[in-house]
Amino acid sequence: MTVTAGLDLGSLSTKAAIVREGQLISFAVLPTGRGGAPVAERALEEALARAGLERSEVRSIVATGYGRISVPFAHRRVTEITCHARGVYHLWPDTATVIDIGGQDSKVIRLGPGGKVMDFVMNEKCAAGTGRFLEVMARALEVDIEEMGELSLKARRGAAISNTCTVFAESEVVSLLAEGRPVEEIIRGLHEAVAERVASMAERVGWQEPVAMTGGVAKNLGVVRSLEERLATSLRLPEEPQIMGALGAALLAAET
């Protein structure tokens, strides 16, 4: 019975996934905080406890995410691009495109036969089109980030947000509030701005259907709807979009 683990150290959350005989058996998601090995260690222990397993039963560990280098006990490090592709391929082998919006990065990956990465693009330096962008806006609007999706679905139209720069968009949001625009419409406008940004990345890799979406932002139905409208396609959503990188890492660990 082979047990392997995947650890995904993102900027906002750290995820662990445990795989046995090619199937996900448990996972854990913790806030990254100051990050590094201690958080990864805790996430791993938590996921193992849920599965009723001991650390000694884990045959191999793969670390991914921007903090992948800071896990000394990982046997291998693989980029989040390959891991997300692998995780999605496991769920839906015929997926052609993966859109992943995480805390600090967003990426669009084009998959080929066997789940092989054919091409990818990631957002450039700034935070536009990432979870971080939404986080900053939630704070400016004084709403809970988890509520954003639902709130935006109540709006009949979105407020136009012309700035993609997070700092400028934040002051734009403040002015919209001062003008008395309903919060729902502003949030919808923000989601549309994120969708626009990500859709242009998708164009750049030559996206094709079917498309799956991963990463924490996939939990925000508002962004999902805006993106679906923008691309005129429906998105496949994993039950736990946040752990797809960790799942892919655990699956890759089983292959070594």
Partner 1 sequence: MGEARKELIGWFCSYTPVELIRALGLTPLRLLPPPGKTPRADAYFTGNLCPYVKAILETALAGEFPAPAGILFVASCNAMIHLSNIWRSLKLTPRVWILDVPRRADSLAVNYWARRLKELGGELSASFSRPLEEEALWRALEEESHGPRQDGSRGERGRERNGLSPGRKTSRPRLLLVGSVLPDVLRDMVEEAGMSVVYEDACNGGRLVGERNVTGAGERSGGDPYLYLAQRYLYKPPCPRMVADRDRRRIYLREVVKTYEVQGAVYHAMKFCDLAMVDFTLVKDELEGMGIPVLKLEGDYAGGNRGQWATRLEALREML
Residues within the interface to partner 1 (CB under 8 A): 66, 78-82, 105, 116-122, 124-125
Cβ 33 to partner 1, closest distance in Å? 19
Compute the radius of gyration of the chain from its Cα atoms.
18
Cβ 125 to partner 1, closest distance in Å? 6
How far apart are alpha carbons 207 and 215 in whole angstroms? 18
Cβ 116 to partner 1, closest distance in Å? 8
Which residue number, 186 or 207, has a Cβ lying nearer to partner 1? 207
Cβ 135 to partner 1, closest distance in Å? 19
Residues whose CB is less than 8 angstroms from the CB of residue 11 and which lie 6 or more positions away in sequence, other chains included? 32, 66, 102, 103, 104, 105, 132
How far apart are alpha carbons 43 and 29 in whole angstroms? 7
Which residue number, 13 or 82, has a Cβ lying nearer to partner 1? 82
Which residue number, 116 or 139, has a Cβ lying nearer to partner 1? 116
Which residue number, 115 or 222, has a Cβ lying nearer to partner 1? 115
Sign of the C-alpha dihedral, residues 165, 170, 175, 180?
positive
How far apart are alpha carbons 119 and 45 in whole angstroms? 34
Which residue number, 133 or 152, has a Cβ lying nearer to partner 1? 133
Cβ 245 to partner 1, closest distance in Å? 12
Which residue number, 78 or 246, has a Cβ lying nearer to partner 1? 78
Residue 72 has, within 13 A of its CA and on its CB side, a CA count of: 2
Cβ 89 to partner 1, closest distance in Å? 14
How far apart are alpha carbons 141 and 121 in whole angstroms? 30
Strand order in the sheet with 23-31: 23-31, 13-20, 3-9, 58-64, 76-77
Contact 66, 104 (CB under 8 A): yes
